[in-house]
Every structure is written in C-alpha cells, then in structure tokens.
C-alpha cells in the first residue's frame, strides 16, 4: 500500500500501536480507538485527558523515543512534519504513513484511506458524520476574510490550504487566496484595509487574544476564533462549521 505521497508502506495490519506526529490525526485516532495510540507530540492537546508518551514536537520529534515505543505505524503530514524526520524514521526501520491535506474533500478522502488502508480499520462514525456536516457549501456572500497566523512579522493564510478551502465552504472569500505563497508575509496595512471585510484571529499557531491582536486593526473589524476549528481536520470538524458560522455572524 502507498501513502498520500505514493510512497510504499509495509506496516503490520491491523495496526495496534500508533505514534501520531500531528494533532489532528492524534485526535482522530483517540476518538476512534484510543488504546492503539501509544505516542503523540507535545502539541497534541485533544482530547484533554490524553495520556500517552510524548515525543517532543511536530518539527523536532524525538526519534529515539518513537523507536522505543515499537510502533506498528507512525502517522504524519506533509505540511506539519519535516521530510528529514520522516526519512530518518524510515531509514531506522519504522513504518511512516504521510497524509497530504490541502482541501476539505482531500481531508475526508485522506482520513478514509488512513483508516481503511493504512490501519485496516472500519471508517469511524464521526468521520461519516463530519463529511455530512460539510457536504453542502454555503451560498457565496462575497465577504473577504483575512486570517493572520503570526504577527511581527505578519503572516496570513494564502493559497492551496485546507483553511482557505474551508472558508469557501462557509461562503466567504480568502482575501489572500490568490497569493503565490501558502502563508505569505504581508504588511499590516494590507490586512487592515478596505479590501478586507473581516479579520479572523485564531489562537494557533500564534496565540491571538483579546489584548494581543484586535488592537492592531483600526479599519477592519476582527474577531477571535478557535484555531482548531480553522485548521484541524479530525473530529473537530463536527463542531467547526457551527462555531465558525457563529463567528462570522458576530461581525
């Protein structure tokens, strides 16, 4: 079998011991078969009571700690994890399945393959339900939305991203969706301008708060939102649509 990058993976099936290097995928496994999850990163915050061995971060995983857990499979993501770490894990004899997720449809297709092909499990009910939640796109509103992911320097969600596609499903337009870069650096005035109708300020990767973020915008209204609702493609998608639609109605 091949992962989303087309690379062969020869894991023991059904998979019983998993290390996840992606918060979204950690939540997905924990919601489906928590006993199979033996390791996760420090950034894997959901579920809140997750009690597994921590293997450092998404960009600097502790490969020795991962090997010591004797996983049948490590699950990763092309965007969130470094190719160097994936390659070194494979060179040490560890099976790694890499997902590629840049759209909502791709998220559902990739996770279905993860469960049915990589893990040899059934499709979980939460995944079927989440796909139904996002099945019908909202009518286009024409509103242009900017989503900063960092400040000093300011960076925003650009093109070819899961988050940008998610906005389209909500009937709004990513103001920087035509950028050549996926996460371009921009000047503050480009966000706080007449060309942007609303700024969504998530709490990850930069932790925007009521006192750190909104004060920067003098022309464009802004509102705080859950970064998990915007960027996670696991069970959080069940509630993300309602949460984000509520945020859009606030402004």
- Model confidence pLDDT, tens digit, residues 216-251: 999 999 999 999 999 999 999 999 999 999 999 988
Nearest CA-CA partner of 119 in 63, 24, 26, 36? 36
Q: Residue 239, SS3?
A: helix
pTM (two decimals): 0.93
Query: What pLDDT is recorded for position 175?
Result: 96
Judge whether residue 206 has pLDDT over 90: yes
Query: What pLDDT is recorded for position 13?
Result: 81
11 band by pLDDT with thresholds 50, 70 and 90: confident
Average pLDDT over residues 86-100: 97
Say if residues 13 and 7 touch (Cβ distance below 8 Å).
no
- Model confidence pLDDT, tens digit, residues 38-76: 999 999 999 999 999 999 999 999 999 999 999 999 999
**DSSP secondary structure string for all residues of 49-90:** T--SEE-B-SSSB-HHHHHHT--SEEEEETTTS-HHHHHHHH
Query: What pLDDT is recorded for position 213?
Result: 97
Query: What pLDDT is recorded for position 245?
Result: 96
Structural domains of the chain sorted by starting position, each given as residue range(s) with its CATH number in brackets: 18-133 (3.40.50.1980), 144-250 (3.40.50.1980)
- Model confidence pLDDT, tens digit, residues 106-140: 999 999 999 999 999 999 999 999 999 999 999 99
- Model confidence pLDDT, tens digit, residues 176-203: 999 999 999 999 999 998 899 999 999 9
- Model confidence pLDDT, tens digit, residues 149-177: 999 999 999 999 999 999 999 999 999 99
Half-sphere exposure of 158 (CA within 13 A, CB side): 13
């Amino acid at each position: 079998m091949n992962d989303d990058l087309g690379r062969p993976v020869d894991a023991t099936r059904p998979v019983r011991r998993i290390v996840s290097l992606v918060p979204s995928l950690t939540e997905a496994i924990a919601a489906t078969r928590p006993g199979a999850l033996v390791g996760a990163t420090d950034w894997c915050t959901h579920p809140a009571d997750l009690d597994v061995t921590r293997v450092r971060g998404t960009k600097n995983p502790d490969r020795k700690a991962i090997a010591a857990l004797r996983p049948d499979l490590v699950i990763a993501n092309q965007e969130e994890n470094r190719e160097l770490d994936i390659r070194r894990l494979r060179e040490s004899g560890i099976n790694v399945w890499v997902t590629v997720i840049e759209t909502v449809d791709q998220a559902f297709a990739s996770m279905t393959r993860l469960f049915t092909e990589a893990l040899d499990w059934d499709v979980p009910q939460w995944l079927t339900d989440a796909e139904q939640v996002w099945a019908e796109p909202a009518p286009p509103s024409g509103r242009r939305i900017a989503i900063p992911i960092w400040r000093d320097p300011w960076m925003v969600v650009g093109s070819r991203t899961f988050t940008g596609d998610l906005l389209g499903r909500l009937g709004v337009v990513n103001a920087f969706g035509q950028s050549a870069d996926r996460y371009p650096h921009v000047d503050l005035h480009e966000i706080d301008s007449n060309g942007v109708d609303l700024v969504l300020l998530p709490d990850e990767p930069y932790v925007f708060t009521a006192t750190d973020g909104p004060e920067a915008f003098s022309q464009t209204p802004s509102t705080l939102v859950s970064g998990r609702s915007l960027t996670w493609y696991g069970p959080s998608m069940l509630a993300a649509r309602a949460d984000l639609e509520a945020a859009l109605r606030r402004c």
